[in-house]
Every structure is written in structure tokens, then in C-alpha cells.
Amino acid sequence: MRYFAELSYKGSAYCGWQRQPNAPSVQQTIEEALSTILREQVEVVGAGRTDTGVHAAFYVAHFDTSKAIENPEQTVYHLNALLPEDIAFGRIYAVADDAHARFDATEREYRYYIQRRKDPFTKATTWQLTAPLDLEAMNRAAEVLLQTEDFTTFAKLGSNNTNNICHIYRAEWVEIECGMVVFIFRANRFLRNMVRAIVGTLVDVGRGKITPEEFAEIVASRDLSRSSSSAPAPGLFLTDVKYE
């Protein structure tokens, strides 16, 4: 039997989603909890890999069991009791045996949060940046992303991507409450470190270090060395995964 699981996690204490030999990962923590509750060895496949310190407000994974889970709600209750406070299951539901959390996803959404004033309560989940930002210029620059398909400029070296083509559906900075701004970025797929590299470069637009026109040139150059430093991990959240 195959099941999809919807969950969320705060990534501060983990090396990312993917299991690593010498560091705690979200995947390993969930696999151990599922194996304990279901009393069999369980392997989990996630919708994507989040990097060290990155969070997920909404995440989807799949796993297989040798027999049906009779009471998914009760299983979720026991999992949440066993898991650490920074990982939470929302629901578990049966799917087709060939359903795949990663390969069947048609859209993903990330949100990056910048807190524009010192705030001890959001330090672990935002980039606290008190420098003035020109959001209008940042949004003019972000419009370039909607007309772009090749994101080699923002593709981290050493990744095992077969190509750097992504289709972008939304790229927008929005001002929300308490002096915070959020970059909403929706696409069919994302490259490793892509969102943080784009955010870091757009912030340089907002700080007047580069113009929106220069940002467009950087994107078109397909040259990683021209992108700015990546934005810090704590501000990044995976917030949605869509399926047919």
C-alpha cells in the first residue's frame, strides 16, 4: 500500500530534508518515527529536497507499507506524539501504487520572508534586514523571471540536474504585517539553491546595488558568478505542492 503524507517542519535543527550519514535530517527523523509506529521498516520519498535550515509550511511525502493503515487519523496522532516538536504530520491518505510525491508534482511554491526590523521572535524564521529596500524596483526586476526559462545563473554548481529549465508562474514581493515583506515564487520545479540565490540578487536591486535592467542582464548571462550571495536559509519556506 502506498500513502501520501502531508506535513510541516521547522528546518533549523536539520541538515535539510535528505538523509545524511553524519547529521540529522528531516527524512531520517520521519522514517524512524514511521518505522516505530507501523512496526516495519519504512522509507520515505519527499516532494523535493530542502537545504540546511530551510523550513516547510506544507510538504508532501510518500511511503509504502506491507498492509493497510486501518486508522490514518490515529496513526497521525501517534506520530505527532513521537516526533520532535519541530516536525508535524497533518494527514495520511492512501494513493495509487504508482503515485509519486516528487515526480507527480506539477507546481511548487516557496516563500521567502524578510523582517525589516529587529524582532527576537522571528529571528529563526526570517532574514532580519533593516536596510531600506525599494520594493517597486525589486518587483520590476522580478518580472524578468516570468519570461525566463533557463536559470543557469542561479543553479548551484555540483547539482545533478539534467537541465536548468524551469517555468515560473509567479514571482512577486508583497508587504505584509509588522514590517515584513515576502517573496512569493511559484514554478513547476526549482533548482538547488535557486530561490535563495534569486532573493539575494533581488535584494541587491532593492538596496540600489544593481538596477532592474542589470538584473535582467545577469539572468540572461547564464553565469553563476554574476549572481549575488544567497539569502540566508532561515527566511525560506516551502509553502505548497500541487498535483493533478
Active site residues: 51
Residues 6+ apart with CB under 8 A from 118: 128, 130
CA distance 116 to 17: 28
Cell of 116: 525589516
Q: Return the SS3 of 36.
A: helix
Strand (E) or helix (H) holding 198: helix 194-206
Number of H helices and number of E strands within the chain?
5, 9
Cβ neighbours for 105, distance < 8 A, ≥ 6 positions apart: 47, 48, 60, 241, 242, 243
Cβ–Cβ < 8 Å for 105, 47: yes
Q: How far apart are CA 181 and CA 58, in angstroms?
A: 20
- CB of 127 within 8 A of CB of 115? yes
